[in-house]
A = this chain, B = another copy of it.
Amino acid sequence: MHQHDHERLARVGMPEAVLCGTKSIEQVRAIAIELAEATTEPRLLTRLGDEQLAALPTSVTDRLDDDRLSKTAMLNGVQPARPGRVAVVAAGTSDASVAAEASRTLQFSGVRHDLIVDVGVAGLWRLEARLDEIRAADIVIAVAGMDAALVSVLGGLVAAPVVAVPTSVGYGVAAGGTTALNSALASCAQGVTVVNIDNGFGAACAAVRMLSLMGRAG
């Protein structure tokens, strides 16, 4: 019997999510069944492996909206719409699954957003071509691996909050994402914040926290 944190929505504005990637097939199955029985409120599962998904009973999967690119699944639909708009900007195709995790978490949280991929700085014109679109967003999530130079360039071009998601994409010194992480943390662009490597979910949660400021009187 797992001890769920059902009051998290009231306390921090977001319901508890289930990080499946660090759990066994049996553990995920048990938690999912418990959740499905305990609540009809929306719940998000992240890093849900193919085998973990296959082990879920129809009592769960009937109420599940699953996506294999992002490895996310929504139980009981999505949360009510929130104000604001987020731009999820990814450097390359290789970063697509992490960007998709951010995108799906935003969808789950009722947040409108645009997904802008393949704008790495090795071809700077691609980013410039999308800049108006990006500047129209209230918040920018920048997803990049390798040198993560996209983070600094974006941070110098927009006034909105920029949340960087370093990815583990790459090889040699890039593999694992530490170079992208450190590059984002050491960014010469002021006021950029960073989440853990490949943590598209966390970046979206950070955006949700920030969006709560919208419409609030100063």
Give residues in A with beta carbon < 8 Å to B. Answer: 2-5, 7-8, 11-14, 16-17, 19, 21-24, 27, 31, 47, 82-84, 91-94, 96-97, 117-126, 138-139, 145-149, 151-153, 155-163, 168-174, 177-199, 201-218
Contacts and interface: CB of A to CB of B under 8 A. Distances in A.
A212 B162 CA distance: 12
A21 B171 contact: yes
A208 B188 contact: no
Given A190-B17, A216-B215, A27 B171 contact: no
Contacts of A148: 147, 149, 183
A82 B211 contact: no
A218 to B, nearest CB: 2
16 contacts: A8-B123, A11-B123, A11-B157, A21-B171, A22-B94, A47-B171, A91-B188, A149-B151, A149-B183, A168-B172, A174-B185, A178-B182, A179-B185, A193-B203, A214-B216, A214-B218
Contacts of A138: 213, 216
A195 to B, nearest CB: 6
A174 to B, nearest CB: 4
B187 A182 contact: no
Nearest to A168: B172
Contact of A190 (B145, B153, B205): B205
Contacts of A205: 190-191
B126 A3 contact: yes
Given A147-B188, A185-B195, 13 more contacts: A3-B119, A12-B157, A14-B190, A24-B97, A83-B217, A120-B188, A121-B153, A146-B187, A171-B199, A172-B197, A178-B182, A191-B206, A215-B216
B196 A185 contact: yes
Given A152-B121, A186-B170, A162 B22 contact: no
A61 B12 CA distance: 45
Contact of A186 (B14, B23, B147): B147
A11 B191 CA distance: 13
